[in-house]
Amino acid sequence: MTPGSTRSDVVDLSPQQQAIIPISAFAAAGDIERLGPALEAGLDAGLSVAEAREILVQVYAYAGFPRSLNALGELMKRVEARRQRGITDDPGREPSKPVPSGEALLAAGTANQTTLAGGPVAGPLFDFAPQANAYLRTHLFGDIFERDNLDWKTREVATVSMLSALTGVESQLQSHMGISMNIGLDADALGMLVTVLEQQVDPEAAQRADAALQRTLEARRTK
């Protein structure tokens, strides 16, 4: 545990959230050979089909549609093979409300982005390419984060795992470490994520995640 924390303060990752870590990392990295067994382990741990599907759809925002679609194809294949073996997986649930559209979607996505980031998101990059922030607000923080059949903490566990599996995205990884802490994932939970990456995915991915976590903690200490 981090200094000064007590068990009542600590937000542990559930078994399902821990199972999401390798699923997200392998899907983002395009490692279908290792993704298959990770999906099996996640379903065995109680992850619903809908939850696994949500995670793999979300991959498109960080690693592109080709890897998202390939991962979804692997999930579909695994679920069908399990059904043929007599395993009935929890189908899960769909979102409880329709995702808004048009201006309402932009408004909802902007509000979600502001909450997650801890304040309005702006800066020279988005002044230079305002459409990039519009896409983030409508597609990522709107279309995806408005789907409430996966909570935000779990989505951030998935996002940090995806970004940790990729190289050259250290800035975005650190940003999502901060977002994770903004919505209640503490240093202990994120440290657990690093450990799972180390043990089940790749030491280099774990090193990237740990470096981002340490930079985020240092930045918060010096505020």
Residue 40 CA, distance from chain mean position: 19
The residues, ordered by sequence, that sit 6+ positions from 120 with a Cβ below 8 Å of its Cβ are 114
The predicted-structure confidence for 34-51, as pLDDT tens digits, reads as follows: 999 999 999 999 999 999
Residue 223's pLDDT band (cuts 50, 70, 90): confident
Distance CA 165, CA 27 (A): 9
Residue type, 97: K
Positive or negative, the CA dihedral 123, 128, 134, 140 is negative
pLDDT of residue 4: 34
Cα–Cα distances (Å) from 22 to 11, 53, 75, 86, 127, in that order, read: 19, 14, 14, 25, 36
Predicted model pTM: 0.92
Positive or negative, the CA dihedral 212, 197, 6, 15 is positive
Q: Which two tokens stand for residue 34?
A: 């290792």
pLDDT of residue 11: 53
Average pLDDT over residues 120-129: 94
Backbone φ and ψ of 85, nearest 5°:
-85, 0
Q: Which two tokens stand for residue 195?
A: 């450990």
Distance CA 147, CA 97 (A): 8
The predicted-structure confidence for 194-214, as pLDDT tens digits, reads as follows: 999 999 999 999 999 999 999
Start-to-end Cα distance in the chain: 22
The residues, ordered by sequence, that sit 6+ positions from 208 with a Cβ below 8 Å of its Cβ are 164, 167, 170, 173
Task: Walk me through the domains of the chain, giving residue ranges and CATH numbers.
Answer: 15-94+149-221 (1.20.1290.10), 96-147 (no CATH)
pLDDT of residue 2: 35
The predicted-structure confidence for 78-89, as pLDDT tens digits, reads as follows: 999 999 999 999
Average pLDDT over residues 63-67: 97
pLDDT of residue 7: 37
Q: How many CA atoms lie within 13 A of 63 on its CB side?
A: 29
